[in-house]
Amino acid sequence: MPSTSASRRSQEKPRENMDAAEDYAEERYGISSMIQSQEKPEQVLVRIRDLTVQKADEVVWQQFNVQALVAVGDHASKQMVKFAANINKESIVDVEGVVRKVNQKIGSCTQQDVELHIQKVYMISLAEPRLPLQLDDAVRPEAEGEEEGRATVNQDTRLDNRVIDLRTSTSQAVFHLQSGICHLF
C-alpha cells in the first residue's frame, strides 16, 4: 500500500498539470494597458438599464456594474475564471459578454430578467484589497446597524472617503433628484 505522502504527491501532479495546461483564453482577460487617449476604442459601451430581454444573445461591452457569470467553457479557461475570482471589490474592469435571458428573476440586481455571460474581462484599475469603508455598511442606516450589531460608517469616514461614499444608492438618489429638478428649470 502506498504511503500517505506518496498518494498526496500523486494527487498534486494532476493539479499542477491543470494549472500549467495551455490557457486558450489568455487573450480574453488580464490587466489592461494604459489608454492615454492615443487611440479611440472601437467598442460601443452598453448601459445597464439597456440590458433587456430584447438584447438576449447579443455580445456587448459593459460599463458600470451588473451581476455577471464567468464559467469554464468555450470562451473562458480555468485560469480566466481564477483571474476574475481574484478581482478586488470596487475595482474597475472592462467586460465583454453575451446577454442571456434568465428563467428566474434576479432579486439582487436592477436588471432582473437578464444576466451577462462574460467572454472577456480586463482590469482597468485595481482597488485596494481592504477599503476604508464598504458600500454595504455605508448604505445601512445607523439605527439599524446598531440594533443588529452590524458595522455602520460615521460621518468623518464618509467625508474622508467621499469617492466611495458617492457610489451609495442614497447619494445616487440625491443626485438623480437634483438632476431632475435642474431639468425642470
State the Cα–Cα distance between residues 184 and 76, nearest whole angstrom. 47
Structural domains in the chain (count): 2
Question: Residue 117 falls within a domain, yes or no?
Answer: yes
Each residue's pLDDT tens digit in the chain (185 positions)?
444 444 334 444 444 454 567 888 888 888 887 766 667 677 777 777 788 888 888 887 765 556 788 989 888 899 999 999 999 888 888 888 898 888 988 877 777 888 889 999 998 888 888 888 777 777 777 666 566 667 778 888 888 888 888 888 788 888 889 999 999 99
How far apart are the C-alpha atoms of 129 and 101, rounded to whole Å? 33
Eight-state DSSP code of residue 3: -
Q: Same domain, yes or no, for 113 and 45?
A: yes
Q: Give domain status of residue 43, yes or no.
A: yes
Q: Indicate whether this model's pTM tops 0.75.
A: no
- Pick the closest to residue 139 from 156, 120, 158, 114 (CA basis): 158
With respect to residue 14, please indicate whether it lies within any of the assigned structural domains: no
